[in-house]
Chain A
Amino acid sequence: MIRFFVSIWSNFKEYIVLTILLIISFILLSQNNTTGVQRVRSIAFGTFASVTTMFTDLFNVSSLKNENNELRRTNAEMMLQISKLREYGITNHELKKLLDFKDSTNFPLIPATIVSKSLIKSQGTITLNAGKNQSVKVGMPVVTDKGLVGIIFSTSDNYSIARTLTNVDLKLTVKSERTHENAIMKWNGDWLVMINVPKTYDIKKGDRIVTSEISSIVPFPLPVGIVADIGDVQKGIFNEVKIQPFVDYQKIENVFVLGIVKSKEIGNIEFNFLNR
């Protein structure tokens, strides 16, 4: 009997090892969201990111000059816009006061630098040098001056990982800014697409797409992109809308984490309402 097993092992050991390793991998694949795995992940990327930061800084120096020029130009443009907006702001403030509106626009911004990027075509993630110590929490949106970059997925003490919009696991509710029509947006490996868009929707090429208030992840409007193309699905009643994102995920280096997560109070009310 032992001789039989020994002969099987000596003849097929490569395949036996392969099978065992694949089985372990499949088991781990199903354990992704367990607390233990999340904790190990948090320690691993936190430790590695601290080394990566030093390395990234070396490469950032060369691009700082270009970025400075770009920022100077943006600054000048912003200054002109601010003077205009300030005027509107004063009027708006007075009107809001009159209507007793709650001002909900004071979002705290946590600055962060990208220390590494995983540019696997379908699973875009970025590691940021801001973590729990800087009040970054899972679920917070990551933005630049151009728009939404992604959502914080995991945090350690001083670092965090965010899933970018080019990650197939991130799906968001977005809307057309012009028509206020909502749809689910996801990354299909090549494009950001709004899926299952009824053909009756009045979405046109060039429309600005922002996150929707009804989103369970980003419940306020943040710029996402513009409609690049509207697929003509012959069968069925739904269209697929391609979106060109405002943010170039390959070029971004500095981002802000919006220091807010969706109100738990609202979530609980909705949950209780649905369970009545």
Chain B
Amino acid sequence: MIKPQYILSIILFFPVLLIQITVVPLLSINSVIPDFILILLVYYSITQGQIYGSVLGFIYGFLFDIITGSLIGSTMIAKILAGFTAGYFSSENKRDQYLIPYNFALIVLLSGIIDSTVNTFFSSVEFNTNIIFVFFEHALLPAIYSAAIALMIMIFYPRRKNF
């Protein structure tokens, strides 16, 4: 039987995407933008498990690619791996600990680095210039920005209340 939360997680994607492509560009700092879709994905991966995180990453990636005109498959792979990584922190005993703001932000940071690195790889950005610089600018900075936003959301969002 399909849990209501499964349907909700997909319905929630659309308002979050709306915010991601209309409001988030206004928050950009030197072209670096936070990824609200990733934050939602990490939340569901922690609360629902690794398999669910991977499948949700697949769905989110597909919808994102098809709606924004990106190369279909690139965001899918990035989000699958991000959801899979975040799913490692879905242990039932420690779930509440992982949803503590600082822990949650660190998981977003880790998943964000993987997500952005894979996205950068598929965007065929030239790595021959300076790989550390490319990693810093294309993967680390957006991940840090997303983690900071995730931290703020989790600080102000009441715990134990599911989305």
Question: Which residues in A have some Cβ–Cβ distance to B below 8 Å?
Answer: 13-14, 17-18, 21-22, 24-26, 28-32, 37, 40-41, 44-45, 48, 51-52, 55-56, 59, 115-123, 125, 127, 153-154, 161, 163, 168-169, 188-190, 250
Indicate if the CB atoms of A116 and B22 lie closer than 8 Å: yes
Asked if B50 is at the interface (CB within 8 A of a chain A CB), the reply is yes
Residues of chain A lying within 8 A (CB to CB) of residue B25:
117, 119, 250
- CB A128 to nearest CB in B, in angstroms, measures 11
A115 to B80, CA, bound (A): 28
- CB B60 to nearest CB in A, in angstroms, measures 12
Indicate if the CB atoms of A118 and B129 lie closer than 8 Å: no
Residues of chain A lying within 8 A (CB to CB) of residue B137:
121, 190
Contact of B61 among A25, A30, A153, A189 (CB under 8 A): A25
Residues of chain A lying within 8 A (CB to CB) of residue B71:
29, 32, 123, 169
A41 to B63, CA, bound (A): 9
Contact with A along B25-57 (1 / 0, CB 8 A): 110100111000000000000000011001101
Asked if B93 is at the interface (CB within 8 A of a chain A CB), the reply is no
A79 to B124, CA, bound (A): 44
Asked if B153 is at the interface (CB within 8 A of a chain A CB), the reply is no
**How many inter-chain residue pairs (CB < 8 Å) link A and B?**
133
Contact of B54 among A21, A29, A190, A250 (CB under 8 A): A21
- Number of chain B interface residues as a range: 35 or more
Indicate if the CB atoms of B68 and A118 lie closer than 8 Å: yes
Indicate if the CB atoms of B123 and A120 lie closer than 8 Å: yes
- CB A215 to nearest CB in B, in angstroms, measures 21
Most chain A beta carbons < 10 A, residue from B14, B77, B119: B77
- CB B31 to nearest CB in A, in angstroms, measures 6
A48 to B50, CA, bound (A): 29
Contact with A along B111-141 (1 / 0, CB 8 A): 0000000011011111001000010011000
Indicate if the CB atoms of B70 and A125 lie closer than 8 Å: yes
Residues of chain B lying within 8 A (CB to CB) of residue A122:
119-120, 123-125, 138
Residues of chain A lying within 8 A (CB to CB) of residue B84:
14, 18
Indicate if the CB atoms of A25 and B58 lie closer than 8 Å: yes
- CB A47 to nearest CB in B, in angstroms, measures 9
The 10 closest A-B pairs by CB, nearest first: A29-B73, A122-B123, A189-B125, A161-B69, A116-B21, A118-B68, A25-B76, A125-B69, A28-B73, A44-B66
